[in-house]
Amino acid sequence: MLRLPASCLLLALAASFAYSAVIVDNGMPIMWSQTAAQVSDLPVENDIVTPNPWNFLHRMSFYRLMIVTTNPFMDSMGTNPTDSPIWGLPLQLGWMLTSGRFADPTSATACGLQTGDPMCISSQSWWGCVNHFTSVLPFLSAAQQGFFGAGVQVQMQAPEGTEEYCTTYADCTTRHADVMAKWDAFFLGLKASTESTLPVNEKKDSILGLYWEAHMASLHASAACSAKQGHYSSAEVNFASSWLNSAEYVSATHFQSNLEKSIVFLTPLPGRLLQEGDSAPNIADMTQEENHTLSVFSWMKNMNTMLGGTLVRVWRSAMCSVTNREKGREMLEQLLLNPSFATGTFLSIITGMATSC
């Protein structure tokens, strides 16, 4: 059974008090050393692996196990064991926990609170629901494709009082066929890549393309979670919407969300839930970086809405080649991390890039 040492528990609680999300500890995702190093470290009943995805350590374990078992197929990503694009997911999971986004937004339970179980992920949390699609579904797909060993069966524990979440590969395939098909394509594509004769940069781009197709399929399917947004402030709902919208741009560039790059992009995310009246870039208890990130996310979503979805479409059209995707990644970095980078420059550049395709 996975256990949480007092030091890690205090880390999570301290973060919640400080309104500053903590995503790394000693250079790794928080509580990484407390996660399962092998699939048999998760609960097993009658030879079936039965993890509880509503426990933070179990979800973090899914990512550790997927990274470890897919790394042998990730040579095109680089020479470091932290070059896999999957690393962005455990870092994002840590941000959701320490920023308080997994706590029960209805206040009906103490799930996710310091007064209850800080490692609890509430089934009522919109963030916990969305993350279900990018943690449970890929893990079940990886198991089905044999990454944890031949014949390994997984049955997720269901949250008490609801059957809205799928728990097995067959169940998830029935409910979310497109999502599971794309995760299957990613994991099978990894295996096939070992026989590929493509140049390394093209092989890398192909794998990242499969990864982001699956990731975006998960996020699109998470529209099933939308009713849970009613538990949050309008400011948080607007941020959540713009956060989802930002993934459209990131995915189109085939961003290599390895450990190093993901830390840079995730650290400026807001370290607490947004409240009524919070308006970036003038939120007093948030850093300049947090305020800037919120402002850029809001601008990107509002501009796309004003243009009837044209901004996302033009951006996707512009990301038509390996070279353009490299330029796109550089532009996103400037837009999100450089406050002096003008949004007008962003618009003019992508319009020009789109016409060159």
Reduced to 3 states, what is the DSSP secondary structure of residue 337? helix
CA 41: distance to chain centroid?
23
The per-residue pLDDT for 205 is 95
Residue 197 has pLDDT above 60, yes or no: yes
Using 50, 70 and 90 to split pLDDT, how confident is the model at 2?
Answer: low
Work out the number of other CB atoms within 10 angstroms of the CB of residue 355.
Answer: 10
- 350 vs 322: which has the higher pLDDT: 322
The per-residue pLDDT for 12 is 42
What's the rounded mean pLDDT across residues 312-329? 92
Nearest to 245 by CA among 297, 178, 186: 297
Who's near 8: CB < 8 A, 6+ residues apart? 25, 30, 31, 34
C-alpha 287/C-alpha 271 separation (Å) is: 9
What's the rounded mean pLDDT across residues 243-256? 96
Which residue, chain included where needed, has tokens 């997911």? 89
The per-residue pLDDT for 275 is 97
- Cβ-in-10-Å burial (0-12, 13-18, 19+) of 79 comes to exposed
**pLDDT tens across 264-286, in order?**
999 999 999 999 999 999 999 99
Using 50, 70 and 90 to split pLDDT, how confident is the model at 357?
Answer: confident
Residue 354 has pLDDT above 50, yes or no: yes
Share of the chain above pLDDT 90, in %: 82
**pLDDT tens across 70-101, in order?**
999 999 999 999 999 999 999 999 999 999 99
Using 50, 70 and 90 to split pLDDT, how confident is the model at 345?
Answer: confident
What's the rounded mean pLDDT across residues 325-343? 86
The per-residue pLDDT for 344 is 73
The per-residue pLDDT for 166 is 98
Q: How many Cα atoms sit within 13 Å of 37 on the Cβ side?
A: 2
Contact assessment for residue 46 and residue 110, using Cβ atoms and an 8 Å cutoff: no
Computed over every residue of the chain, the mean pLDDT equals 92
The per-residue pLDDT for 160 is 87
- 11 vs 102: which has the higher pLDDT: 102
The per-residue pLDDT for 20 is 58
Residue 1 has pLDDT above 60, yes or no: no
Which H/E stretch holds residue 341?
A: none
What's the rounded mean pLDDT across residues 146-153? 96
Which residue, chain included where needed, has tokens 């706590």? 103
The per-residue pLDDT for 73 is 97
**pLDDT tens across 203-212, in order?**
999 999 999 9
DSSP assignments along 107-129, one per residue? SSS-BTSTTSBTTB--TT-HHHH
The per-residue pLDDT for 335 is 87
Least confident of 20-29, 141-150, 219-228, 260-269: 20-29
Q: How many Cα atoms sit within 13 Å of 98 on the Cβ side?
A: 30
